[in-house]
Structure 1
């Protein structure tokens, strides 16, 4: 092959090898889909409580939010008779700010807690199948 023809082919291949043909454009990414209505700031209030004297359970939680500001509290009756209450707020990116307080006076416990007793039963006897 004539060296001039080889150089000519090399130049043509270099000129057209890295570029798309005329009139061709690369595909563009699809736009992000829209999921429903535009986002609105969060706004809610809730409150719940449990007070069961038979099991000595008394606890609850209250919270409200308006946009980036959230405030609330939760409480629990402790085994020593005091109520622990946590009051908190969050304002935007400021983080969770909490204050912990105790209501009432601690009562001493009366004796050690009972030790757990096993609550299983032995397995039933195996059935006897007829034999010789």
Structure 2
């Protein structure tokens, strides 16, 4: 019983990193700068002619001022565009616009065949 316990302790000791290892109470916690205002800018877009998908998003932020826009191709053929901004405590202010006319194509009329039961003799 003593040999397996001894071998497992040796295996643990060999697996520990030899350099740079320090107990948890000696490690320094990472410092975060909480008072640094956010600052970013990004955009992306998708245009897929096969399926008719057309959508994208753009946003930029500098401190408490955020502004951006996004758009999406609707199933009725219109393009919906939303521009928005947030400035401090103003909340989310959005402006929604549509481009194009909504189209609802009617399927071609095809009369259904009329079936009559076959006569029975007997």
Q: Which TM-score bucket, shorter chain as reference?
A: 0.5 to 0.7
2:39 paired with 1:43: yes
In the superposition, the TM-score normalised over structure 1's length comes to 0.55
2:49 paired with 1:53: yes
Alpha-carbon distance between aligned partners in 2 of 1:37 and 1:80, rounded to the nearest angstrom: 48
Would you say how many aligned residue pairs link Structure 1 and Structure 2? 80
Unaligned stretches of 5+ residues in structure 1: 1-32, 113-132
Deviation at 1:109, TM superposition (A): 2.5
Deviation at 1:56, TM superposition (A): 0.9
Unaligned stretches of 5+ residues in structure 2: 1-28, 109-122
2:66 paired with 1:73: no
Deviation at 1:38, TM superposition (A): 5.2
Larger-gyration structure (1/2): 1
Alpha-carbon distance between aligned partners in 2 of 1:50 and 1:96, rounded to the nearest angstrom: 25
| Residues 80 and 38 of structure 1, relative CA distance in 2, 3 Å threshold | closer
2:83 paired with 1:87: yes
Alpha-carbon distance between aligned partners in 2 of 1:109 and 1:48, rounded to the nearest angstrom: 31
Alpha-carbon distance between aligned partners in 2 of 1:50 and 1:74, rounded to the nearest angstrom: 11
Q: What's the CA shift string for 1:35-90, capped at 9, x where partnerless?
A: 33453111111010010010111000000000000000011001111100111000
Alpha-carbon distance between aligned partners in 1 of 2:75 and 2:64, rounded to the nearest angstrom: 36
